[in-house]
Structure 1
């Protein structure tokens, strides 16, 4: 009399195949959900790109006279902070002017 039921080789293979198929199906479902998420994010990125292309770049707001004044102040030895206080332009804009961005 046998105490333990011994699976036959064909029963073992059948069980293994069923378990494998369940794992594969679960994995494929996860992949499908991730692909849907990727597709949704790509769509959102495209929408953002399209809406951003409608924006116009800022026009050059600093005048040629302002540029000349900034360069003259710097030639006279004023610091960026001093030039900023006199012209009301930011130190970043003053730096851009002095580095030739507006030339």
Structure 2
């Protein structure tokens, strides 16, 4: 780290500046996600109730990857109600797909 002086609007400011250097070869070897695994997000459209995010997301990914293993990592939902009290839902999820 080094101390660096600068002037902003007539005031002298001092800041500690850190320099970080990363070894490019170390970055390539430390993949957090294996090459045979895909992480994908999905968001459905607005729909009436009666389902759930996991069920809708599995249906989406099973149709897209019919022969692959799929694991749902996270789910969420939004809801809205019209003036008649009818509620609709929009489901979101993230899945891991085993490609090989």
Please give the range of the TM-score, normalised by the shorter of the 2 chains.
under 0.3
Q: Tell me which protein shows more helix as a share of its residues.
A: 1
Larger radius of gyration: 1
Tell me the TM-score normalised to structure 2 length. 0.24
Which has the larger share of strand? 2
TM-score with structure 1 setting the length: 0.24
- RCO higher in structure (CA 8 A, sep ≥6): 2
